[in-house]
Every structure is written in structure tokens, then in C-alpha cells.
Amino acid sequence: MSTLVVQLTLDPARGEEVVRHFREDVVPYATRQPGFVRGQWLKTTDGTHAIGVVEFESRELANAAAKGPRSSAHDGSRAWNIDSVDILDEVARA
């Protein structure tokens, strides 16, 4: 199991737009990806940052799914921008 972690910076004045983007664009994209297991999209209470944590069956499938967020260039006119995209391997579970 490998986890795709996407960290974002958000415009807190445009919180509704961010939530719409996660629900209508990001979740459908992620769930269509081969090997998708589950995901969570979380934002800070002040609305300035978010993180997507998406589990995949393998590192290869997580890397394939990461191509989408990795191809997203910074755009100051958007309500969100991707800061980093990482693939993490599970080492422990509680």
C-alpha cells in the first residue's frame, strides 16, 4: 500500500470554491484511478492550507495517479495551488 499526499495552499476568502473543487473535480479524479483504495481531503480551520491523503494498492499506481496533480502549474488566479506531491509507503499502523 502506498499513499499519495498532496499539500496545497488555499485562498481562505474563496473557501466555497475550494470545497466545490475537491468534491466535484478532485474526488471523481482520484476514485477513477486504478488501484484507488480510499482518500481524505482535509483543510485547516483557517482555510489557508489543505492536504489530500489518497491510498493506492501499490507505489506504481500511486505514482501514475500523481501525474495529474504534478502537472498542475501554479496559477495565482485560482483558489488553490499545489505545493507538493509525495508518495509515502506505510511503515506502521495503529
C-alpha cell at 52: 489530500
Q: Which residue has the cell 481524505?
A: 40
Fold designation for 2-89:
Alpha-Beta Plaits (3.30.70)
- pLDDT of 71 reads 95
Q: List beta partners, residue 51.
A: 7, 42
Split at pLDDT 50, 70, 90, the class of 55 is very high
State percent of the chain over pLDDT 90. 94
Q: How far is CA 66 from CA 14, 34, 38, 52, in A?
A: 25, 12, 15, 11
User: Once rounded to an integer, what is the mean pLDDT over residues 55-79?
Assistant: 95
Cell 471523481 belongs to 28
- Nearest Cα to Cα of residue 5 among 90, 84, 92, 68: 84
Average pLDDT of 50-65? 97
Tell whether the model's pLDDT for residue 90 goes beyond 90. no
pTM of the predicted protein model:
0.92
